[in-house]
């Protein structure tokens, strides 16, 4: 009951903050582990559905998510400080930024993929290990981390009672939607190219089994992570050619006409083929239909226990659809860093669109806060139920497409410092949500830029490998 009183108080404070921000702790400052907490008499079930590379506000083909989550829960602006799959998922699981986990990329031999996460030691300190230690039955079904196929045979990460992760070597004929294996705590299962092997549906089957097989007197944590709608945006057979949007996605940022205010390495980028943009839009919508079906199946399996289930729908990061002539994540721009984040928890969260930026590092602290579980170690994340952030760091190592960068995101501001004197960018989202007008170097904005640069230097510490101011 004390937990619920504290939570309702936090919601009340939230309702008073019209801007969606209230300064709490510096985003990159360690947050001390809370004192030991009293056990919760009826701890909530926790379900996380994490799609892959889903942009914000792409729910047109997801009626279940709209009706059962958006219309019954709280919406936030999910935010990935390092907008790539493995860094984002590592931060979600641990509550630590990339400058702490050391995971900056998906496949880099030193700073990316499962090998980097495993070597960091943080695989032993995740929400799964904390919840399992508190008596939860824990299950991962779907994507774990990039390059998990490099783990030794029979490997199961700490903290998981049920671990059914896709094992797919794409470079050797494996795939995200077909031709994959499920490995982990049960014998390996092999899947080919028949319609019944479509991965989102298979994973949904395993996720429902996990819910159904959990004893009624034991709380559970399910981390359900399908590959949809990640490129190549493959829909389930039943959903092929099922959706044509009313309007083809476009805005002045898509194939931006004037790139002269962007960093020099971007100014001569070719425009993106509009046919590809339409294809990405169409097939993303179709691929999300099966994810929506899976959400509906899980809600049905949970049944009346939904009243005491924290159900989170999210993604690992967004992806560019031609904005600033880009088509990937790995970028500091809002279409790559922002993603859906919806939380439904009975009557304990309001039905509200908070328009509030919540980084992935805060989700581990939030989940453990909801379960009233002390992880026993320090994490950089802070619970959304307790405090707000005024700003969040951005950090990335160099990749072939761009140099390393550090930056800071506030609700209405983005500042990015590119390494090796490759330029700076600053955008005022209140007046320029499409990031068309770089204000860096403008005398009228010098004070704001100096403040954001100072904040960046304080928060982006240590800097990404190879980054120089």
Q: What pLDDT, in 10s, does the model give residues 261-272? A: 999 999 999 999
State pTM to two decimals.
0.91
- Indicate whether 31 pLDDT > 60: no
Distance CA 145, CA 119 (A): 13
Question: Given phi > 0 = left and psi -120 to 50 = alpha, else beta, which region is 312?
Answer: beta
> Taking the mean position of all CA atoms in its chain, how far away is CA 364?
12
* pLDDT, mean over the chain: 90
* Per-residue pLDDT, 192: 94
Longest pairwise C-alpha distance within the chain = 64
Residue 359, Cβ neighbours under 10 Å: how many? Answer: 29
Which tokens in the block code for residue 94? 């641990």
Q: What pLDDT, in 10s, does the model give residues 367-401? A: 999 999 999 999 999 999 988 889 999 999 999 99
- Indicate whether 28 pLDDT > 60: no
113 contacts 90 by C-beta, under 8 angstroms: no
Q: What pLDDT, in 10s, does the model give residues 448-466? A: 999 999 999 999 999 999 9
Q: What pLDDT, in 10s, does the model give residues 415-440? A: 999 999 999 999 999 999 999 999 99
104 contacts 112 by C-beta, under 8 angstroms: yes
Q: What pLDDT, in 10s, does the model give residues 116-146? A: 999 999 999 999 999 999 999 999 999 999 9
135 to 45, 160, 161, 240, 313: CA distances (angstroms): 11, 12, 11, 42, 23
Domains of the chain (ranges; CATH) run 2-7+44-389 (3.40.720.10), 390-469 (3.30.1120.10)
């Amino acid at each position: 009951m004390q937990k619920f009183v504290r939570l309702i108080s936090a919601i009340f404070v939230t309702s008073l903050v019209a801007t969606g921000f209230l300064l709490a702790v510096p985003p990159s400052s360690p947050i001390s582990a809370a004192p030991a907490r009293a056990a919760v008499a009826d701890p909530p079930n926790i379900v996380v559905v994490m799609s892959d590379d889903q942009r914000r506000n792409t729910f047109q083909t997801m009626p279940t998510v709209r009706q059962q989550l958006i219309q019954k829960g709280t919406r936030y602006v999910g935010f990935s400080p390092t907008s790539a799959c493995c860094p984002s998922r590592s931060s979600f699981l641990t509550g630590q930024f990339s400058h702490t986990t050391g995971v900056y990329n998906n496949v880099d031999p030193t700073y990316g993929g499962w090998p980097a996460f495993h070597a960091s030691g943080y695989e032993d300190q995740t929400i799964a290990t904390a919840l399992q230690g508190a008596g939860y039955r824990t299950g991962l079904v779907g994507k774990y981390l990039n390059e998990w196929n490099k783990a030794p045979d029979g490997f199961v990460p700490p903290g998981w009672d049920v671990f059914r992760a896709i094992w797919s070597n794409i470079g050797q004929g494996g795939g995200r939607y077909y031709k994959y294996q499920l490995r982990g705590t049960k014998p390996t299962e092999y899947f080919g190219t028949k319609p019944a092997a479509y991965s989102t549906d298979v994973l949904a089957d395993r996720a429902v089994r996990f819910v159904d097989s959990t004893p009624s007197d034991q709380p559970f944590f399910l981390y359900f992570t399908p590959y949809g709608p990640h490129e190549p945006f493959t829909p389930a057979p039943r959903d092929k050619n099922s959706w044509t949007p009313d309007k083809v996605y476009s805005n002045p940022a898509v194939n931006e006409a004037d790139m002269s205010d962007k960093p020099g390495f971007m100014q001569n980028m070719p425009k993106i083929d509009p046919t590809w943009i339409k294809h990405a839009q169409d097939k993303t919508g179709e691929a999300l239909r099966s994810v929506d079906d899976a959400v509906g199946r899980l809600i049905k399996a949970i049944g009346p226990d939904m009243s005491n289930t924290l159900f989170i729908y999210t993604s690992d990061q967004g992806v560019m659809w031609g904005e600033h002539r880009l088509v990937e994540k790995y970028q500091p721009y809002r279409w790559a860093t922002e993603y859906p984040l919806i939380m439904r928890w009975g009557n304990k969260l309001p039905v509200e669109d908070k328009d509030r930026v919540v980084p992935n590092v805060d989700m581990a602290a939030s989940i453990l806060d909801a379960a009233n579980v002390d992880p026993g170690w320090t994490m950089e994340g802070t619970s959304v139920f307790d405090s707000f952030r005024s700003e969040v760091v951005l950090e990335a190592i160099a990749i072939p497409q761009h140099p390393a960068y550090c930056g800071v995101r506030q609700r209405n501001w983005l500042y990015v410092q590119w390494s090796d004197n490759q330029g700076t960018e600053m955008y005022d989202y209140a007046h320029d949500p499409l990031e068309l007008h770089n204000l860096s170097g403008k005398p009228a904005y010098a004070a704001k830029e100096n403040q954001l640069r100072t904040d960046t230097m304080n928060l982006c510490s240590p800097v990404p490998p190879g980054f120089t101011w």
